[in-house]
Amino acid sequence: MKLLDVNNIVLSYNSFKILDDISFDCNKDQFVSIIGPSGCGKSTLLRIIAGLEKSTSGSVKYKNKLITKPISRISFVFQSSALLPWLTNIENIKLGLSRFKMSDALKTKKAFKLLEKFQLERFADMYPNILSGGMKQRIGIARALVANPEILLMDEPFSALDELTANALRTDINYMLRQSSVSVNLVILISHNVEEVVALSDKIIILSEKPSRIKRILDVDLEYPRNKRDQKFLDYVDKIYSILMNE
């Protein structure tokens, strides 16, 4: 079932083209990554999909409905966790419910459930400054998940973390998002890390330098959990490097 339709997106600033005719679609139960050189417009594209920015032309549809502004069925995770330091961790997660009319007790209950999922419940009433980078990013992701979104957009969520922490978080997130108890049916991840996208994705959209066009859309046919030393895994990595660099 098709969840998201990106049609002929063009974005120009002062007649300087950044995104040039980007089209793709995403189905239910997919993990889709968008990879491309730094500055090619990946974050801009994700913001357009989220309804945070308007394209010059083209459209984005969620279940056949045009996206013109942010909607609660689509959540966004930022590169840095963007937590508010004056709010406790549970209050930060509850921010994800600020647009909803529900009792504070219910918001607390929902936020606490997510803290449990991430095994951070003992940090509920503490402030973000005592958390490690990986824990902060987990709280940021919990805030994005608390409103039960169907689509989760993630803009380089692992890139500010050291490699060991990033790896642990990738494995956790991947496992969690594939559980049926989580509302998310589609993830779109922005990345510039080739190994990361091969480890996580069902589909990889490879963008060119600016003005950014789609160079290739690649389906990844590998079982989970994926082993970075498998020859098939390495073949995908080589293929993506060669598309990024040569085509």
Min dist. Cβ of residue 42 to ligand ADP (A)? 4
87: tokens are: 């709010």
x/- contact string, 1-20, with ligand ADP (CB under 6 A)? ------------x----x--
Q: Which is nearer to ligand ADP, 91 or 156 (CB)?
A: 156
By beta-carbon proximity to ligand ADP, the closer residue of 13 and 86 is 13
Task: Find the binding residues for ligand ADP in span 152-211 (CB under 6 A).
Answer: none
Burial status of residue 229 (CB atoms within 10 A of its CB: 0-12, 13-18, 19 or more)? exposed
Beta strand 74-77 pairing with 30-35: unpaired
Q: Would you tell me how many other CB atoms lie within 10 Å of the CB of residue 212?
A: 25
Q: How far is the CB of 173 from ligand ADP (least distance, A)?
A: 20
The site string for ligand ADP over 89-108 (x = CB under 6 A, - otherwise) reads --------------------
Q: Provide the β-strand partners of residue 7.
A: 59
Q: What is the DSSP string of 214-247?
A: EEEEEE---PSSP-TTSHHHHHHHHHHHHHHHH-
Q: Which of residues 25-54 bind ligand ADP (CB under 6 A)?
A: 36, 38-44
Structure tokens at 68: 């013109």
Binding site for ligand ADP (CB under 6 A): 13, 18, 36, 38-44
